[in-house]
């Protein structure tokens, strides 16, 4: 059993978790699925009725045969056929029920998984940065998979077993008296208590065995990965001994686990066979007194055997349901996680007219104890290019994240055309913004898909035009599959410069009124950078642009340059103005020019 690794999974799971899922099984506005639920429940009763009729047919056959009447042979054969038909009917109706209900279960699991997926995308960037993506996807995967199995066991294993237990108690009460009913209930309660107790014990042993198994595998892999080190120190025997010790620990844990299973099976068998022996002895005693027939002995035996069959799976069913509740609780915990950034009720859409962006006394820190921005005031006039420069950690990229509302400012506000972005819908805000990030991550799909991601429903001609604008079209034509070429996981089949050009192309395709370039050409060679800079300048000429730059040579033509230092605006002005001022910008410019000259001199040598 996997141990929870998140706060959501750590909370105790309960039946309230299951109640939260039940509405998915009775979906509104979908009468066809509701009909399937009703038909499946009806088939549960039909199948159980067929199953419960089998012992009576069996009893009737035995009674006819024990009477020794030749004329009853035909009736006995008919009863045998009825018994076989009842057995087949039980199997038939069970499988038809499963087939009918499968659509309901899958639909409920699908809707729940979609809701979780949508909610996860709605959570803040802070949530995703603090969480391991693998753990998140595993929680959703386990929670979704547990739904179908839990529904099957609860609706089609436990529920029919309860129905059968009630029916058998009624039959025993009417035909054999209350004593047999009490004995059956005591047996079932004792069986459940014993199974639950031993299963809890076995769960601890199973966890211990899994941990030892993980350690054994880790030790073997670590030793093999350090093959050369083992050889350097002549430590083959030492490693073999360590591995042997780990294997011995696993063997001991496995023996304990298997022994616990044996005790569980023996204990369950003891309880059920004591009940079977007592019930049959009672009916045989009644038969000797003329109170019961020979068929009644068979009836009791068959009814109890049918009841014991699902009880034999109780330990596994209990573990499965318990683990399923934990997995579902973890998944619902994700849904219950509130989004850090939320739209106000009835938030209007952002209306971009000119594209003026203002940061008004903005304070912000990822950690309250460590502020990043300390009262930033920036005014980006419509249709102009603003460049933001400064040392690492000054808060340059933080401004773009705040503009996209990945976070909310601690104080102050950000406006676009005098509209506070915290008071408008996030979807409309992000539709008006385009960004070319420094670290470009692509989908594991085709290069055409990744470019077309900038605008849903874009045509192939529009994708090609954007690729030409980003100077990547010629490169794509050299690929064997051209625009259908796969880029690999996170785009690793492409170089850094090629990935960045794809990012530029999809932003060009989006054609937003406000453009953010976060080190957009940092991974490009000088020749490609010059071509793309020309493209970006032509694009920026008709929209508001914010350029976050480390390489100052790329922003000399900016309408305004803001120098951040220590979370504050240290300087602002045009490139010539800042050079004449002789401050931080001039110092950075001189240092970069010196470094560039050294590189050119080394290249010339």
pLDDT of 444 = 79
Distance separating the N- and C-terminal Cα atoms of the chain: 64
pLDDT of 201 = 82
Q: Which fold, 345-432+515-522+542-605?
A: Rossmann fold (3.40.50)
Average pLDDT, the chain: 77
| DSSP annotation string for 245-261 | HHHHHHHHHHHHHHHHH
**Tens-place pLDDT, residues 146-164:** 776 777 777 777 777 788 7
User: What percentage of residues in the chain have a pLDDT greater than 90?
Assistant: 0
* Spatial contact of 240 and 223, defined as CB atoms under 8 Å apart: no
pTM, to two decimals? 0.61
- Please state, in angstroms and rounded to a whole number, the distance separating the CA atoms of residues 449 and 98: 40
Phi, psi of 46 (to 5 degrees): -65, -45
Residue 180 predicted with pLDDT over 60 = yes
In our burial notation (b when 16+ CB lie closer than 10 A, e otherwise), range 344-380 reads eeebeebebeebbbbbbebebbeeeeebbbbebebeb
**Tens-place pLDDT, residues 189-215:** 888 888 888 877 877 787 777 777 777
Residue 127 predicted with pLDDT over 70 = no
Residue 521 predicted with pLDDT over 70 = no
- For 581-589, the CB contacts below 8 A with 24+ separation are 584/390, 585/389, 585/552, 585/561, 588/389, 588/552, 588/563, 589/552
**Tens-place pLDDT, residues 73-120:** 665 566 667 667 767 777 787 788 777 777 777 777 777 777 777 777
**Tens-place pLDDT, residues 572-592:** 888 888 888 888 888 888 887
Residue 4 predicted with pLDDT over 50 = no
- Residue 245: CB atoms within 10 A of its CB come to 12
Dihedral of the CA atoms 280, 281, 284, 288 (nearest 10)? -170
In our burial notation (b when 16+ CB lie closer than 10 A, e otherwise), range 183-219 reads bbeebbeebeebbeebbeebbebbeebbebeeebeeb
Instruction: Determine which of 100-109, 126-135, 213-222, 316-325 has the lowest per-residue pLDDT on average.
Output: 126-135
Query: How deeply is 399 buried, as exposed, middle or buried, from its count of CB atoms within 10 A (0-12, 13-18, 19+)?
Result: buried
pLDDT of 557 = 80
Q: Identify the band that residue 5 occupies on the pLDDT scale cut at 50, 70 and 90.
A: very low
User: What percentage of residues in the chain have a pLDDT greater than 70?
Assistant: 81
Give percent helix, percent strand, percent coil of the chain, each to the nearest 5: 65, 10, 25
Residue 486 predicted with pLDDT over 60 = yes
CA 142 to chain centre: 8
Give, as one character, the DSSP assignment of residue 491: G
**345-432+515-522+542-605 has the same fold as 1-176+319-340:** no
Q: Beta strands 568-573 and 357-364: pairing type?
A: unpaired
Q: Which fold, 1-176+319-340?
A: ABC transporter transmembrane region fold (1.20.1560)
Select, from the ranges 23-37, 211-225, 444-458, 528-542, the one with the highest average predicted confidence (pLDDT).
Answer: 444-458
Query: Strand pairing partners for 373?
Result: 364
Residue 54 predicted with pLDDT over 80 = no
pLDDT of 69 = 55
pLDDT of 115 = 75
Residue 8 predicted with pLDDT over 70 = no
**Tens-place pLDDT, residues 362-417:** 888 877 778 888 888 888 888 888 888 887 777 778 888 888 888 888 888 888 88
pLDDT of 11 = 42
Q: Which whole number is the average pLDDT over 238-244?
A: 84
> What Å distances lie between residue 348 and 118, 382, 420, 431, CA to CA?
21, 22, 11, 14
Instruction: Determine which of 223-227, 348-352, 377-381, 503-507 has the lowest per-residue pLDDT on average.
Output: 223-227
- Please state, in angstroms and rounded to a whole number, the distance separating the CA atoms of residues 294 and 204: 47
Q: Which of 324, 371, 341, 330 is nearest to 128 (CA)?
A: 341
Residue 244 predicted with pLDDT over 60 = yes
Pick one of 3.20.20.70, 3.40.50.300, 3.40.50.10320, 1.10.340.30 as the CATH number of 439-511: 3.40.50.300
Residue 277 predicted with pLDDT over 80 = yes
Domain residue ranges of the chain, discontinuous segments joined by +: 1-176+319-340, 177-291, 345-432+515-522+542-605, 439-511
């Amino acid at each position: 059993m996997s141990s929870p690794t998140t706060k959501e999974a750590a909370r105790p799971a309960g039946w309230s978790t299951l109640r939260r899922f039940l509405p998915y099984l009775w979906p509104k506005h979908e009468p066809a699925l509701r009909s399937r639920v009703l038909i499946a429940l009806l088939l549960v009763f039909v199948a159980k009725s067929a199953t419960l009729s089998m012992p009576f047919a069996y009893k009737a056959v035995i009674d006819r045969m024990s009477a020794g009447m030749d004329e009853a042979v035909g009736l006995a054969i008919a009863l045998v056929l009825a018994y076989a038909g009842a057995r087949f009917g039980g199997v038939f109706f069970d499988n038809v029920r499963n087939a009918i209900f499968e659509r309901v279960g899958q639909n409920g699991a699908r809707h729940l998984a979609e809701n979780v997926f949508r909610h996860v995308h709605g959570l803040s960037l802070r949530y995703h940065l603090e969480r391991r993506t693998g753990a998140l996807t595993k929680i959703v995967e386990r929670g979704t998979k547990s739904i179908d199995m839990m529904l099957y066991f609860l609706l089609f294993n436990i529920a029919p077993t309860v129905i059968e237990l009630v029916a058998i108690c009624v039959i025993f009460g009417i035909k054999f008296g209350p004593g047999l009913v009490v004995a059956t209930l005591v047996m079932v309660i004792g069986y459940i208590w014993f199974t639950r107790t031993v299963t809890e014990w076995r769960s601890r042993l199973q966890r211990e065995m899994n941990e030892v198994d993980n350690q054994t595998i880790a030790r073997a892999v670590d030793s093999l990965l350090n093959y050369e080190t083992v050889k350097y120190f002549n430590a083959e025997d030492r490693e073999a001994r360590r591995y042997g010790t780990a294997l011995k620990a696993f063997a001991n844990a496995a023996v304990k686990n298997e022994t616990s299973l044996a005790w569980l099976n023996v204990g369950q068998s003891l309880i059920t066979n004591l009940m079977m022996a007592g019930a049959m002895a009672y009916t045989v005693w009644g038969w000797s007194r003329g109170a019961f027939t020979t068929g009644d002995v068979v009836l009791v035996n068959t009814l109890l055997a049918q009841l014991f069959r699902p009880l034999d799976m109780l330990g596994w069913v209990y573990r499965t349901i318990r683990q399923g509740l934990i997995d579902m609780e973890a998944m619902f915990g994700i849904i219950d996680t509130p989004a850090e950034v939320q739209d106000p009720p009835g938030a209007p859409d952002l209306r971009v007219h000119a594209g003026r962006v203002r940061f008004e006394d903005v304070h912000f820190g990822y950690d309250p104890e460590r502020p990043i921005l300390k009262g930033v005031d920036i005014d980006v006039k419509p249709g102009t290019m603003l460049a933001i420069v400064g040392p690492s950690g000054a808060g340059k990229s933080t401004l773009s994240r705040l503009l996209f509302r990945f976070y909310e400012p601690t104080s102050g506000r950000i406006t676009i055309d005098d509209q506070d972005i915290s008071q408008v819908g996030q979807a409309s805000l992000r539709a008006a913004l385009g960004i070319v990030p420094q670290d470009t991550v692509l989908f594991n799909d085709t290069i055409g898909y990744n470019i077309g991601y900038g605008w849903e429903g874009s045509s192939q001609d529009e994708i090609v035009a954007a690729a030409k604008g980003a100077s990547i079209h010629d490169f794509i034509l050299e690929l064997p599959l051209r625009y259908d070429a796969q880029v690999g996981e996170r785009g690793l089949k492409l170089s850094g410069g090629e990935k960045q050009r794809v990012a530029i192309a999809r932003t060009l395709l989006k054609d937003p009124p406000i453009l953010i370039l976060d080190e957009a050409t940092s991974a490009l060679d000088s020749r490609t950078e010059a071509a793309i800079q020309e493209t970006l300048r032509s694009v920026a000429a008709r929209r508001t642009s914010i350029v976050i730059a480390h390489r100052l040579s790329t922003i000399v033509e900016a309408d305004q340059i803001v120098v951040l230092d220590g979370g504050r605006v240290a300087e602002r002005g045009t490139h010539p103005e800042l050079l004449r001022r002789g401050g931080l910008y001039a110092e950075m410019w001189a240092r970069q020019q010196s470094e560039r000259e050294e590189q050119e001199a080394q290249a010339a040598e």
